Chain A
Amino acid sequence: MKAVCWMGKSKVETLTVEDPQLLNPHDAIIKITRTAICGSDLHLYDGFIPTMESGDILGHEFMGIVEEAGKEVTNLRRGDRVVVPFTIACGNCLFCKKKIWAACDNSNPNAHLMEAAYGYSGSGLFGYSHMMGGYAGGQAQYARVPFANVGPLKIENDLPDEKVLFLSDIFPTGYMAAENAQIQPGDTVAVWGCGPVGQFAIASAFMLGAARVIAIDRLPERLEMARSLGAITVDYSEEDVSVLTALKDLTGGIGPDACIDAVGLEAHSAQLQGTYDKIKVALLMETDRPSVLRQAIQAIRKGGTLSVPGVYGGLLDKVPFGAAFGKGITMKMGQTNMHNYMKPLLERIENGQIDPSYIISHRITLDQAPEMYKVWRDKKENVTKIVIDPWAETAA
């Protein structure tokens, strides 16, 4: 089959590899009908996530048709149409029973690598480094899905793939970000980063009762999209704009009730601290560039809630923990507990509350993927979301 492989920092190739096989009784093989490139794949592209190896198949947002089901998979049959969650969960450990699916104890075969870095291992993820499981990803024509009796969501309507594909990660991730922000009716919510997760966080914040959402980014196409959802936008790259002042001005001086960092470890900053973080990362004195996290802690109101769906990987420098303590804020974060959200959010799509396909800007083939990683990383061609049809041929 064809698959998009990580071949080193800033190096992605579409290669012909072997087809996946059933390896365990709860596995299923999915013939992928649509897959996507996630903003978090750019962290892999840029070499920020350790334990990626040459040859690893990328991709964790995918859906398709069950090709083959293992002998213990009783709920799926060949031909079923499914969306696959990017976190892999066993359904039986203490964490799955507590519905903290992203903390599953049993789905990461390389848990020892993560234990060394984080103390304990989270769940395995598709196509996201050996530390996170070493599972082959879904930017391919087929994928092996472990614990297929627990994760995949059956789609039993005739909605097109593009409307339900984002149940695999970014819609639930944006929704959980808004839920983690503990939004009360009437709240003002600030969202840093208006990429796909930020977009769904904005939409979800309104669903959960926010009276005002303030969206912060620098790319015009994203800010335009955020305004179309009803958000007020702040372009941090404009010379005369201070985000902290803007958030005070828009909240009567008290700051947002909730802040959502949908940017994560590769934040850009127009200020001196952007340069500072780039130097410290280059000198291996920190691993992540936390300028959004710093700003959100500074901006949030007293007693507010900071929700972090943006990915962080390692060690951060100069995080103003004193400000966090001094204001008594709550912080909630982590990989998405996908399995809690897929079904209820599918219902919201089915009843017409939201059509997640509005964020798609590019539809490509597997062969075009390597080039599009670069285009998206460099923020060219007004990319907002790239969807791949793994069976389409590139026109010559």
Chain B
Amino acid sequence: MSPALNEKPFAEELPAASAAGVILDGRYLPPPEDKDGKLWVRTSALVQADAQELYAMWHDVEAAPAWQEQISQVVTTGERISHWTMQSDEKTIEWDSEILADEPGRRIAWRSIGGESDNAGEVIFEEAPGGRGTIVTVLQEFRMGKLTSAWETFVGRNPKQAVIENLRHFKALAETGEIPRAKHQPHGDRGVIGKMKASTYGEKVPIPSGSN
């Protein structure tokens, strides 16, 4: 288990984060394994921006729909609480999210508190070796079952991949001010197989708006 995020965030307090949950006492820490009805994903990105700026961008939860796939709206409803709406085609799921830890410029941890999503996560911002930017590491946990099937059905992506893609969008938006996209370009007839493949490529999932 990574000390970056407690394996049972619903039952225990989060321990202090180590270096992005990837190194402990000079040793590499592998990501937590999927077990006991939980699914984990850890992913990282090297971003050319400073940690404070990236922290502020992540902390602005109401702006999350600009870079998180299929998040249609986030409303701050309390000092540490926000209400999240996720939409795909005609289906919508909603949940509340609570911030568990908030260290400006360094770390944010959260968990869902009721609603149709059962998740917890943490993001850590730290200077890359050699001052080559900021390493952003995200650790996200989902409960399997209802949630996973909801995510897979709704998102059209593997839930772990969705976390990876969201961090990719976050990095692109931070570095370039936009999120790259190739949908809605002209093309000839795709045929039956081509249309099916658009789904396997993840090209059916709408790309978040970025700065548009």
**Interface residues of A, Cβ cutoff 8 Å to B:** 1, 3, 5, 7, 13, 15, 17-21, 23-26, 51, 53-57, 72, 90-94, 97, 105-113, 124, 130, 133-136, 140, 144, 146-147
Contact = CB atoms under 8 A, between A and B. Distances in A.
Interface string B164-198: 11001001100111111111111111110110011
Among all A-B residue pairs, the 9 with the closest Cβ atoms: A5-B188, A55-B188, A134-B182, A55-B187, A17-B186, A136-B185, A54-B194, A54-B191, A18-B186
B165 A94 contact: no
Contacts of B211: 25
B171 A110 contact: no
17 contacts: A1-B186, A24-B179, A25-B211, A26-B177, A54-B193, A57-B187, A72-B178, A92-B176, A93-B175, A105-B171, A109-B180, A112-B161, A124-B180, A130-B197, A135-B182, A136-B186, A144-B185
Interface of B: 46, 48, 132-133, 161, 164-165, 168, 171-172, 175-191, 193-194, 197-198, 201-203, 207, 210-212
A18 B183 CA distance: 13
B201 A113 contact: yes
Of the listed residues B46, B175, B188, the one surrounded by the most CB atoms of chain A closer than 10 A to its CB is B188
A378 to B, nearest CB: 24
A19 B186 contact: yes
B186 A106 contact: no
Given A23-B184, A55-B191, 17 more contacts: A7-B188, A13-B188, A17-B188, A18-B186, A20-B185, A20-B186, A53-B198, A57-B187, A94-B132, A105-B172, A106-B171, A110-B201, A110-B202, A112-B165, A133-B180, A134-B201, A146-B180
A106 B181 contact: no
B177 A25 contact: yes
A91 B175 CA distance: 9
B179 to A, nearest CB: 8
Contacts of A55: 187-191, 194
B178 A26 contact: yes
Nearest to B46: A94
Contacts of A51: 201
B97 to A, nearest CB: 25
Nearest to A13: B188
Contacts of B194: 53-55
A18 B187 CA distance: 7
Contacts of B186: 1, 3, 17-20, 57, 136, 140
A111 to B, nearest CB: 6
Nearest to A144: B185
